[in-house]
Structure 1
Amino acid sequence: MSKAERQRSARERLAEQRRREEQRHRRLRALLVGAGAVAVIAVVVAAVVLVQTRGGDEGPVATAPVSRQADGSVVMAKPGVTAPVLEIYEDFQCPACQEFEEATGRTVKELAAEGKVKVVYRPFSLFRSSNEPTRGNSLRALNASLCAPADKWLAYHDKLFAEQGPETAKGFENADLVKWAAEVGITGDAFAQCVEGTRKQQQIDQVNATADRAGVQSTPWVTLDGRKLDQNATFTADGLREAVENADKT
C-alpha cells in the first residue's frame, strides 16, 4: 500500500470513528431529553393530583347564620358573637376580590362558624365612575346580590365571584344573573323582576355612600375592628386566622 493510500485509509477510519461517536452522542442526548421529559411530566401529574386531592378533601364548609341588614350589608356570625368584627368591602367585578375569595373566603367562613369573628359583608360598586362595560357589570351584579334572600345570599355571593368575567367585556347580564341564582336555589318571579328592573337602586346608593364614608379606596378593603388588614392577612389563610385570633391583643 502506497503512502497516499495509507493516508487516505487513515482519514477514512478517522471519519468513520467520528461518525460513530456523533451517533452515540445523538442517542445519548435523545435519552437524556426523553428522561427529562418523563421526569417533568411525572412532577406535573403529581402536582395536579395533589391539588385535586387537597381540593377534594376540603369539601363543603359549615357556615354561621347569615342575616341581611337594613343598610344593605350581610352579617355572618354565630348567636352572641359580636367581636371582633371583620368587614369586607368588595365589588363583584373586582379581580382582586375574586382572588381574595379564592385565597381566604373559606377561612372567613370557618372563623365565623367557629365563633371567632363576626363577619360583615359590604358589597358595593367601586366602578360606578368607570367606563362601560365595567360600570354596568359592577352595578348589575350588586343589584342582583341585594335582591338575593339572606338564606341563599352566601351561596349566590360565591357564585357571582366564580362567574366573574373580564372588566373589558360585558358580563353579569340579567339573564345570566337569574340563571346563576337558580343554580344556588333562588327561584321565582320576584327575584327575576328585582334583577331585571334594577329594583335595589336605593340600596345601591346607600351601600356606595357607606363605602365612601369609610374611606374605601380600593377593593378588597378588609378591616378588623376598623383597622385595615395588610396584604398577608387579606390574601393568606394563615395570616387572616392569625389576625383574627390575636385581635384582642392589639
Structure 2
Amino acid sequence: MSEKNREGKRTARERLAIEREKQKARERRRRTMIVAAAVVGVLGLAAVVGVIAANAGKDEEETAGPVVAPKGAMGKDGLAIPVGQESAKSTLTIWEDFRCPACANFENMYRATIHELVDKGQLKVEYHLATIIDGNMGGTGSVRAANAAACAQDAGKFTPYHDVLFQNQPQETDDAFAENSKLLELAGKVEGLKTPAFEACVNDGKHDSWVARSNEAFQKGGFRGTPTVLLDGKDIFGDQKNPLTPAKLKQLVEAANK
C-alpha cells in the first residue's frame, strides 16, 4: 500500500472518530432533554421552576466586602430574618427569591394566613433570601432586591416591604429590580421606610455580601428550589400528592399550639 493510501485511510479514520464523538455528545444532550421533560411532567410548572433554580447560580461571583448582617438577623451566620414572637410554638422557615414567580405565587396565596398566625402569636417565620433567578436568567435584580429587603429590616420595616416587593414583582425576564431607583420607588409604598438612611443602604449595597453568603447557604443546603417552606423543620410545600393549602397550614399550626 502506498504512503498516500495509508495517509488517506488514517485521515478517514480520524474523521470517523471525530464524528463518533460528535454523535455521543448529541446523544448525551438528547438524554438530558428527555430527563428534563420527564421532570416537567411529574412536578408541574411551579415545581420545575424550583428544581431548575436549585441548580442555577452556582457560577455567580461572590460579592467582595465585609459581611454585614441586617439588624436582628439570627440563626447560623445570622442569615435568617425573624418575624413574629420568639415564644411562638411553631416556626415556618421560608427560602425565597424576590424574582422567583413561584415564590410570588406562594406569597399571594399564603400571605394572609401567615400574617394571621403571626399576629396571634402562634407562628414565627424565619426568612432566608436566595438569588438563584439572577443565575438562571442573568441580571442582578435578585441581589438588589434582597439587599433592599435587608435594609428594610434595619429600619424595622421588613415585612411590609417584603410584601410590597412580591406584590409588585416584574416578569421573570424583566430585571426591573436591578435598578435601585425602582426599589426606592416601591419603598415609598411603606410608611416611614424611605429615609436617607434607607436610601444610602440600598444605593451602597450595604448587605450585598450578606446576601451572597445567604445564597451560598441555600446552594449548600440541598434544597430543591424556591420557595422552600419548612414547618418546624419539615418540608411541607411542593408535595404534589399531598399539596399544602392555607387551611391546612392553619390547621397544622393550630394543632401544634394546643
Q: TM-score, normalised by structure 2?
A: 0.63
| Farther-moved stretch of structure 1 (202-211 vs 170-179) | 202-211
Structure with more relative contact order (C-alpha pairs < 8 Å, separation 6 or more): 2
Identity of aligned residues (%): 33
Q: CA deviation at 1:97?
A: 0.8
Query: Which residue does the alignment assign to 1:33?
Result: none
- Residue among 67, 73, 86 paired with 1:69: 73
Q: CA deviation at 1:244?
A: 2.0
Q: 2:80–2:126: 8 Å Cα contact kept in structure 1? A: yes
Matched, 1:168 2:177: no
Query: Which residue does the alignment assign to 2:185?
Result: 179
Matched, 1:210 2:194: no
Q: Give a deviation string over 1:114-157, Cα, whole Å, max 9, x none.
A: 12222111122122422324xx1111111111111352111100
**Number of residue-to-residue matches in the alignment:** 180
| Farther-moved stretch of structure 1 (138-147 vs 223-232) | 223-232
Q: CA deviation at 1:234?
A: 7.2
* Equivalent runs, 1:2-21 vs 2, <5 Å: none
Distance in structure 1 (CA, Å) of the matches to 2:201 and 2:237: 37
Counterpart of 2:129 in structure 1: which amino acid? P
**In the superposition, relative to structure 1, how do residues 230 and 80 fare at CA in structure 2: closer, same or farther (>3 Å)?**
closer
Following superposition, which runs of at least 4 residues in structure 1 exceed 6 angstroms of deviation? none
Q: TM-score, normalised by structure 1?
A: 0.65
Counterpart of 2:102 in structure 1: which amino acid? A
Q: 1:89–1:123: 8 Å Cα contact kept in structure 2? A: yes
SS of the aligned residue for 1:93 comes to coil
What 5-or-longer segments of structure 1 have no aligned partner? Answer: 1-66
Distance in structure 2 (CA, Å) of the matches to 1:169 and 1:235: 29
Q: 1:94–1:219: 8 Å Cα contact kept in structure 2? A: yes
- Residue among 132, 142, 146 paired with 2:146: 142
Distance in structure 1 (CA, Å) of the matches to 2:237 and 2:194: 39
- Point out the structure with max Rg over C-alpha: 1
Distance in structure 2 (CA, Å) of the matches to 1:217 and 1:231: 9
Q: Give a deviation string over 1:50-84, Cα, whole Å, max 9, x none.
A: xxxxxxxxxxxxxxxxx731524221222522x32
Counterpart of 1:91 in structure 2: which amino acid? D
Q: 1:234–1:240: 8 Å Cα contact kept in structure 2? A: no
Q: 1:100–1:235: 8 Å Cα contact kept in structure 2? A: no
Distance in structure 1 (CA, Å) of the matches to 2:160 and 2:237: 27
